[in-house]
Amino acid sequence: MTPTQVSDVSLRLPLAARRRHQGYVAFLLHRISGIALAVFLPLHFLTLGLAIEGADELQSFLDVADNVLAKVFEAGLVFALVVHVMGGLRLMLLEWWHWDQQHAFWLTASLGAGCVVALMFALSIFV
Amino acid sequence: MNLALYVAQRVSALILAPLVLVHIGLMIYAVNGGLSAGEILGRTQGSIGWALFYSVFVMAAVVHAGIGLRNVLAEWSALPQRAVDILMFVASCALLTAGFRAVYAVTA
């Protein structure tokens, strides 16, 4: 249902058009990355809990995880983290400093891209 | 309650930001240095500093994830709000337990 009383005229667009709105894309990225991190977290806690049985238990898991697929997964994790933190920063700018949505979006997107490049450097991954 | 959760979400986010930064830096150091489980545990076990750091990390993360998932379920699932609240509270308690168990495993 299209809202009839909103301050931003773009929100009076039909549903399909609203779903192409930059703010909606940012919201979706923030939410999807958040869900991914929330699904990962308990797995992470349980894996670390292996250390209760001793270092060897944890080491055997690290050995299994020492392959390309696992590295890709870990990279995806860090990417989800950067996307989520940047989304959060965007919300802070909107809610507390009343920035324009588009400005907040592009600032945080470019900061996020910078973080990814810096991380690749720190991890000695060269494109 | 929604206002309190909103504030808790933002506060936990502010707490998580620097902690996550330190954690990622630490992981980069550990992974690049090729540290084994034994070497890692050798540095973290018996350390009150790391126990405190990760305890705060766990608490902030569980609060943040719990409230976030509550919003997701409220908006994207067909569950009634009350069921979502109870479910996420119970899930958060379970996650907190797993988190503290992990902290104990790594720092005790």
Give the mean pLDDT of A97-110.
96
Has residue A1 got a pLDDT over 80?
A: no
Residue-wise pLDDT for B58-67, tens only, equals: 999 999 999 9
Angle between helices A101-122 and B2-32 (to 10 degrees): 30
Instruction: Write the CA distances from B52 to A43, B55, B100, integer angstroms.
Output: 21, 5, 11
Has residue B4 got a pLDDT over 50?
A: yes
Question: What per-residue string of b and e applies to B18-46 under the rule 16 or more CB within 10 Å gives b?
Answer: ebbeeebeeeeeeeeeebebeebbeebee
| Alpha helices in A1-127, H assignment, sequence order | 15-18, 22-48, 55-64, 68-95, 101-122
CA distance B17 to B21: 6
Which of the residues B43, B95, B97 would you substitute to probe the A interface, choosing the one with the greatest number of A C-beta atoms within 10 Å? B95
Residues of B in contact with A45 (CB under 8 A): 58, 95, 98-99, 101-102
% of chain A exceeding 90 in pLDDT = 53
Closest partner residue to B105 among A48, A59, A124, by Cβ? A48
Has residue A11 got a pLDDT over 80?
A: no
Average pLDDT of the residues of chain A: 88
Distance of CA A115 to the CA centre of its chain: 12
Residue-wise pLDDT for B13-39, tens only, equals: 999 999 999 999 898 888 777 888 888
CA distance A39 to A127: 29
Q: Assess contact for B79 and B87: CB atoms under 8 A.
A: yes
Question: Which chain B residue is nearest to residue A78, measuring alpha carbons?
Answer: B24
Decide if A85 touches B, using CB distance below 8 A.
yes
Question: Which chain B residue is nearest to residue A60, measuring alpha carbons?
Answer: B37
Distance of CA A100 to the CA centre of its chain: 21
Q: Specify the pLDDT at position A127.
A: 44
Give how far A84 is from chain B: nearest CA, Å. 11
CA distance A77 to A45: 15
Residues of A in contact with B26 (CB under 8 A): none
User: What pTM value is reported for the model?
Assistant: 0.90
Instruction: Write the CA distances from A87 to A91, B61, B91, integer angstroms.
Output: 6, 16, 24
CA distance B43 to A19: 49
Closest partner residue to A35 among B13, B61, B72, by Cβ? B72
* Cβ contact, residue pair A81, B101, below 8 Å: no
Closest partner residue to B32 among A58, A85, A124, by Cβ? A124
ipTM of the complex: 0.93
Q: Specify the pLDDT at position A7.
A: 61
Provide the number of CB pairs (under 8 Å) joining chain A to chain B.
Answer: 69
Among B66, B36, B100, B32, smallest CA distance to A55 is for B36
Residue A79 has, within 13 A of its CA and on its CB side, a CA count of: 10
Instruction: Write the CA distances from A73 to A2, A80, A117, integer angstroms.
Output: 39, 10, 17
* Cβ contact, residue pair B99, A31, below 8 Å: no
